[in-house]
C-alpha cells in the first residue's frame, strides 16, 4: 500500500515554494552544500507550507536559518518533541516558526515546515549540510543532489506511521533550481561529468587544482543532479587535523581537535591474482511495479527490470564452478528459484536462467524485510562464505529496520547493494553495504548496470579480510577517542575513513601515525599513514561535524527492544551529541521562532503541501500503484483489448548474446547460435579445429578481446573461467596458440590480433610454453 504518495496536479492548490538555489563546495573528497529555498505566499490568508524532500542518507545537516525581510532567524537543535511543542506553541500565538525534522524511519528524508507565512510575504530558508563523497568503480567521486523522492512503500502492519509525501510527475514540479559547484584539491582536477547538462569546467589556477562548474541554462529540477569528480592520482592516503571550536570546552568533541584519515589499502598482488572458487551467492531482485520504469528518460531505452535480467545473466555466467547460489525476488511477497541454495552446475544454471528470463516487475510493492528474514533463516553452507547481492530502486520506508536486520546477521555474510534509477534511497543502499561489510553502487542516468555489478562481484571473490585492527602512535600527552565504528571490511584500492578525537597538547611540529593491521588469506598485512598534528586552517568545523555524524549514526544503530525503541541512555547520548555539535539526528530537530514579530498573524492557518518530483511513471506502473491485483488483471485485459501493448523486450546486444551461450564450465559449443552471435556463418567458423568445444571457446575469447575491450570489466571474469577450462582441456599448448593466430582470417580486416592479445600469455602463465 502506498502512503499518501498519489499523483496530483498543481492546479488544485497554489504552491508557495518558488525556487531552490544550491551552492556546492568540494574540498578533496568532502562536500559542503548550501541550499536556499525561496517561499512566497500569494494567497489572501496565512499559510503553513510543508515540504518533504530527500537528502543523502549520510549527510550531516549542520545549519538551518530563515530570513524574512531584513530579519534572519537561526535555528537551534533541540530534542524532537520539545521542538515540535515550541513550533505548535508559536503557531498558536500567531508567531512565525520554522521546523526541520529528519524522518525516524529513514535518515535520507527530511520534513520542512514553514509556519504562519502572512499574505504577500516572502521567506528564504537556508539549509547547510556536509557529506563525504563516495568512490565509484572508475575512481570518480560521486555527489548526488536528490531531486526525486519516490513513493516509499510501507508494510501493511505499519500503514499510517510514515512521513506524508506529496508527489507530482517531474514535468509538473512548480519550482526552479540553480546549481553551481566549486572544486578544490591538493591534486589536479582532471574532469567533472554529470547526468545533467553542464557549462564548461572553468579552472581557477594554472595548477588546475581549483575549478568551478554549474548547470547549463534551462535545467528543470526533474531528476537527481549527479556530479562525478575525477582527480589525478586519486588513491593517495590523506589526513586532515581540524582544530576545535574556540568557544567549546576542552575535552568535549567540539572543543578538541578531530582527525579524519582517508586510507586506500593495497593488497599483495600474489593474493589478488587468485579468484575464489567457492562461496554461496544469494541474489535478491526487486520486482516491484516501479522496476518497470525506464532506466533513464531517453525513449527506446530498456526498463530497470530488463536491465536487471541482463545483469543477472552476466553475473550468473561469471560465477565460479564449485560455488552455490540461489535467486530471490520480491515485491508485496517474495519468491525463490530453489528451496535452498544449490551447487553451481550446467543443470542448475540453465534452470535459473529460464526463471530469470521470465521475471517481470509484477509483484506490487517493495517489502524487502521478509525475504531477508527468510534468507538469514537458511543455515550457512560450511566453507562457502555467503555473499548477498541486493538489487532495488530503494522505495521502502522501514529503512532502519531493514538495515538493523542486516547488521544483526553481518557475521555470516557480506552484502553488496545496488540502487537502481532516480530516487533510490541512499540511506538504504549505503546502509545495507556498510552494515553488511560489502560495497554500495548506484545506477542512474545513462549508467550501465553491468560494469558496476561486476566490480562488486570481483570484490565478493576477493578473500575476506579478517582480524582488522587500528593502532595509534601519538606523542606523549595526546590520547585518542575513536568516533568511527570499528572497520569490518577492506577492499583492494577502496577508501576507508577513520574519524577520531585527539585530547591533550602537542607541538605544531609533532607527528602521529596510524596502522591498520589485518589478515588476508591467512597472511598478516598492514598499511601505515604518518600525519602532522598541526591543525589545518579554514576548515569550517567540517571534520568535527562529519565525525559527530558518524558517531551519531553508530549510536542510532545500536540494539533496540522488540518494539524498535532505543535505550533511554543511548537516546540521551545522541541528543546531547546532536545539540553540542549542531548536527541533525533522528531524536532532534531544528527549530526557529521569529520572536521579534510583535503583531500576531491573524486568520485561519491553511496548510499547503509542497510537491516533490516522482519519476515518469508508465501506464502499467500507475495502474499497479492505485489498483488492487484484481483490478490490475482486469485493466490489463482492457488495455490489451484496446490496443495498448506492453513494450517488447529489447534485443540483446551481441555481447549478451555471446554470454548467454557460455556453459557453466566456461566453454562454448560450436553451433549456429555461436556463429550468429559472432556475426559469422556456420561455414566461416567451422575451419580446421583442435576440437569443437575448444575451437568454439577460442573463437568466443578472440571476439571478446578483439571487439569488446571497451567493456572488458563486464566479461573479464567469465573469460577467466573460459581460459581456465581451456588450460585443463587442451593437451597441446603449441597447437592451440597456432590455432589462435589463424583466427584473424575469420574476422574483419580491422581486427589487429597482435595488438589485441599477447598470444604467448593468452592461455598460459608461462610465457615460454
Please provide the average confidence, as pLDDT, over all residues in the chain. Answer: 80
Considering only residues 261 and 565, tell me which one the structure prediction assigns the higher pLDDT. Answer: 261
Indicate the class that CATH gives domain 15-237+584-596+606-613: mainly beta
Encode pLDDT of 331-350 as tens digits.
989 999 999 999 999 999 99
CA–chain centroid gap for 674, Å, is 36
CA–chain centroid gap for 77, Å, is 28
Considering only residues 328 and 738, tell me which one the structure prediction assigns the higher pLDDT. Answer: 328
pLDDT at 78 over 90: yes
Whole-Å CA distances, 450 to 310, 361, 395, 711: 8, 19, 22, 9
Overall average pLDDT of the 317-340 stretch: 93
Considering only residues 460 and 613, tell me which one the structure prediction assigns the higher pLDDT. Answer: 460
Whole-Å CA distances, 603 to 43, 98, 344, 608, 627: 12, 19, 70, 15, 40
Taking alpha carbons only, the member of 316, 327, 324 closest to residue 349 is 316
191 half-sphere exposure, CB direction, 13 A CA radius: 5
pLDDT at 711 over 80: yes
pLDDT at 564 over 60: no
Which of 350-364, 387-401, 591-605, 672-686 is modeled with the greatest confidence? 350-364
Considering only residues 690 and 638, tell me which one the structure prediction assigns the higher pLDDT. Answer: 690
pLDDT of residue 606: 59
Overall average pLDDT of the 742-762 stretch: 43
Encode pLDDT of 596-609 as tens digits.
755 565 555 555 66
So where are the chain's domains? 15-237+584-596+606-613, 277-461, 654-762
Considering only residues 620 and 46, tell me which one the structure prediction assigns the higher pLDDT. Answer: 46
pLDDT of residue 15: 58
Which DSSP symbol is given to 410? Answer: G
Please give the helix or strand (H or E) that residue 131 lies within, else none. strand 122-132
Taking alpha carbons only, the member of 61, 49, 38 closest to residue 14 is 49
pLDDT of residue 754: 39
Burial of 18 per CB tally in 10 Å (0-12, 13-18, 19+): middle
pTM, whole model, 2 decimals? 0.77
Q: Which residues on neighbouring strands pair with residue 122, listed in sequence order? A: 40
Please give the helix or strand (H or E) that residue 644 lies within, else none. none
Pair 723, 763: CB distance under 8 Å: yes
What is the per-residue DSSP string for 295-312? SSSSTTPPBHHHHHHHHH
pLDDT of residue 661: 92
Compute, in degrees rounded to 10, the torsion defined by CA atoms 619, 622, 628, 630: 0
pLDDT of residue 219: 74
- Measured between alpha carbons, how far is 251 from 264 in angstroms, rounded to an integer? 30
pLDDT at 673 over 70: yes
pLDDT of residue 618: 41
Considering only residues 339 and 638, tell me which one the structure prediction assigns the higher pLDDT. Answer: 339
81 half-sphere exposure, CB direction, 13 A CA radius: 1
* Least confident segment among 37-41, 88-92, 713-717: 37-41
Pair 624, 634: CB distance under 8 Å: no
Pair 391, 287: CB distance under 8 Å: no
pLDDT of residue 114: 83
What is the per-residue DSSP string for 685-699? H-SS-S-HHHHHHHH
Residue 617 in grid coordinates: 511513471
pLDDT at 755 over 90: no
- Measured between alpha carbons, how far is 514 from 261 in angstroms, rounded to an integer? 9
pLDDT confidence tier of residue 765, bands split at 50, 70 and 90: very low
Q: How many Cβ atoms are within 10 Å of 413's Cβ, its own excluded?
A: 19
pLDDT of residue 312: 93
Angle between helices 542-556 and 568-581 (to 10 degrees): 170
pLDDT of residue 172: 63
Overall average pLDDT of the 504-512 stretch: 84
pLDDT at 632 over 60: no
pLDDT at 627 over 70: no
* Least confident segment among 173-187, 562-576, 591-605, 627-641: 627-641
pLDDT at 475 over 90: yes
Q: What is the 3-state secondary structure (H, E, C) of 711-753?
A: HHHHHHHHHHHHHHHHHHHCCCHHHHHHHHHHHHHCCCCCCCH
Taking alpha carbons only, the member of 147, 138, 236 closest to residue 529 is 236
Which DSSP symbol is given to 560? Answer: B
- Measured between alpha carbons, how far is 318 from 713 in angstroms, rounded to an integer? 11
Q: Quickly tell me which residue has 526552479 as its cell.
A: 176
Pair 156, 86: CB distance under 8 Å: no
* Least confident segment among 60-64, 252-256, 685-689: 685-689
Strands 280-286 and 386-392: parallel
pLDDT of residue 536: 82
Residue 286 backbone zone (phi > 0: left; psi -120 to 50: alpha; other: beta): beta
Strands 176-184 and 210-214: antiparallel
Cβ within 8 Å of residue 411, ≥6 positions away: none
pLDDT at 732 over 60: no
Encode pLDDT of 247-274 as tens digits.
899 999 999 999 999 988 777 777 666 6
Pair 245, 541: CB distance under 8 Å: yes
Its CATH architecture, for the domain 277-461, is 3-Layer(aba) Sandwich (3.40)
Amino acid at each position: 500500500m502506498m502512503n499518501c504518495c498519489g499523483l496530483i496536479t498543481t492546479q488544485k492548490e497554489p504552491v508557495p515554494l518558488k525556487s531552490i538555489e544550491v551552492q556546492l563546495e568540494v574540498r578533496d573528497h568532502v562536500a559542503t552544500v548550501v541550499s536556499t529555498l525561496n517561499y512566497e505566499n500569494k494567497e489572501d490568508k496565512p499559510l503553513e507550507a510543508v515540504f518533504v524532500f530527500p537528502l543523502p542518507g549520510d549527510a550531516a545537516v549542520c545549519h538551518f536559518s530563515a530570513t524574512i525581510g531584513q530579519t534572519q532567524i537561526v535555528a537551534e537543535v533541540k530534542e524532537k518533541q520539545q521542538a515540535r511543542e515550541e513550533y505548535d506553541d508559536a503557531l498558536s500565538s500567531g508567531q512565525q516558526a520554522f521546523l526541520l525534522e529528519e524522518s525516524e524511519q529513514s535518515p535520507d528524508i527530511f520534513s520542512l515546515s514553514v509556519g504562519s507565512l502572512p499574505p504577500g510575504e516572502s521567506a528564504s530558508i537556508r539549509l547547510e549540510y556536509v557529506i563525504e563523497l563516495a568512490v565509484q568503480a572508475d575512481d570518480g567521486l560521486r555527489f548526488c543532489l536528490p531531486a526525486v523522492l519516490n513513493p516509499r512503500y510501507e508494510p501493511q502492519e505499519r500503514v499510517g506511521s510514515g512521513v506524508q509525501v506529496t508527489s507530482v510527475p517531474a514535468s509538473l514540479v512548480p519550482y526552479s533550481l540553480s546549481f553551481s559547484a566549486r572544486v578544490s584539491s591538493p591534486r589536479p582536477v582532471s574532469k567533472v561529468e554529470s547526468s545533467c547538462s553542464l557549462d564548461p569546467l572553468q579552472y581557477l589556477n594554472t595548477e588546475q587544482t581549483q575549478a568551478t562548474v554549474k548547470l547549463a541554462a534551462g535545467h528543470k529540477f526533474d531528476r537527481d543532479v549527479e556530479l562525478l569528480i575525477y582527480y589525478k592520482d586519486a588513491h593517495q592516503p590523506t589526513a586532515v587535523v581540524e582544530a576545535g571550536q574556540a568557544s567549546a570546552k576542552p575535552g568535549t568533541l567540539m572543543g578538541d581537535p578531530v582527525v579524519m584519515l582517508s586510507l586506500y589499502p593495497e593488497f599483495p598482488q600474489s593474493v589478488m591474482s587468485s579468484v575464489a572458487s567457492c562461496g554461496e551467492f544469494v541474489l535478491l531482485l526487486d520486482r516491484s511495479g516501479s522496476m518497470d520504469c525506464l532506466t533513464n528518460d531517453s525513449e527506446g531505452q530498456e526498463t530497470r527490470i530488463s536491465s536487471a535480467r541482463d545483469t543477472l545473466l552476466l553475473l550468473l555466467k561469471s560465477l565460479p564452478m564449485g560455488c552455490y547460489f540461489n535467486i530471490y525476488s520480491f515485491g508485496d511477497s517474495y519468491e525463490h528459484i530453489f528451496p535452498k541454495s544449490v551447487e553451481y552446475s550446467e543443470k542448475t544454471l540453465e534452470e535459473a536462467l529460464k526463471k530469470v528470463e521470465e521475471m517481470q516487475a509484477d509483484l506490487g510493492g517493495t517489502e524487502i524485510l521478509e525475504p531477508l528474514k527468510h534468507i538469514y533463516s537458511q543455515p550457512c553452507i560450511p566453507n562457502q562464505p555467503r555473499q548477498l547481492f541486493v538489487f532495488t530502486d530503494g522505495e521502502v520506508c522501514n529503512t532502519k529496520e531493514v538495515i538493523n536486520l542486516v547488521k544483526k546477521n553481518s557475521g555470516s555474510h557480506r552484502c553488496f547493494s545496488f540502487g537502481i534509477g532516480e530516487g533510490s534511497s541512499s540511506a538504504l543502499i549505503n546502509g545495507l553495504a556498510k552494515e553488511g561489510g560489502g560495497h554500495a553502487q548506484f545506477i542512474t542516468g545513462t549508467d550501465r548496470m553491468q560494469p558496476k555489478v561486476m566490480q562488486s562481484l570481483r570484490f565478493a571473490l576477493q578473500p575476506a579480510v579478517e582480524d582488522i585492527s587500528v593502532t595509534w602512535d601519538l606523542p606523549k600527552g595526546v590520547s585518542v577517542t575513536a568516533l568511527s565504528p570499528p572497520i569490518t571490511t577492506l577492499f583492494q584500492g577502496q577508501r576507508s575513513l577513520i574519524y577520531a578525537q585527539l585530547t591533550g597538547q602537542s607541538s605544531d611540529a609533532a607527528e602521529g601515525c596510524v596502522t591498520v593491521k589485518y589478515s588476508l588469506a591467512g597472511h598478516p598485512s598492514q598499511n601505515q599513514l604518518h600525519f602532522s598534528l598541526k591543525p589545518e586552517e579554514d576548515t569550517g568545523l567540517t571534520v568535527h561535524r562529519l565525525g559527530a555524524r558518524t558517531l551519531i549514526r553508530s549510536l542510532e544503530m545500536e540494539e533496540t527492544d522488540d518494539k524498535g525503541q532505543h535505550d533511554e541512555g543511548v537516546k540521551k547520548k545522541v541528543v546531547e551529541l546532536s545539540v553540542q555539535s549542531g548536527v541533525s539526528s533522528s531524536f532532534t530537530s531544528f527549530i526557529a521562532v521569529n520572536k521579534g514579530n510583535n503583531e500576531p498573524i491573524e486568520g485561519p492557518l491553511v496548510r499547503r503541501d509542497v510537491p516533490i518530483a516522482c519519476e515518469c511513471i508508465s501506464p502499467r506502473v500507475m495502474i499497479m500503484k492505485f489498483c488492487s491485483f484484481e483490478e490490475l488483471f482486469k485493466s490489463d485485459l482492457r488495455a490489451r483489448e484496446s490496443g495498448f501493448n506492453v513494450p517488447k523486450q529489447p534485443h540483446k546486444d551481441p555481447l549478451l548474446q555471446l554470454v548467454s551461450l557460455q556453459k557453466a564450465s566456461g566453454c562454448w559449443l560450436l553451433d549456429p547460435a555461436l556463429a550468429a552471435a559472432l556475426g559469422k556463418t556456420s561455414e566461416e567458423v567451422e575451419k580446421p579445429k583442435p576440437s569443437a568445444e575448444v575451437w568454439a571457446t577460442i573463437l568466443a575469447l578472440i571476439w571478446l578481446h578483439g571487439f569488446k575491450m571497451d567493456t572488458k570489466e563486464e566479461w573479464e571474469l567469465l573469460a577467466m573461467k573460459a581460459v581456465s577450462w581451456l588450460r585443463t582441456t587442451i593437451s597441446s599448448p603449441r597447437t592451440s596458440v597456432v590455432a589462435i593466430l589463424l583466427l584473424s582470417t575469420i574476422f574483419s580486416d580491422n581486427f589487429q590480433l597482435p595488438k589485441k592479445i599477447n598470444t604467448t600469455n593468452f592461455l598460459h602463465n608461462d610465457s615460454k610454453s
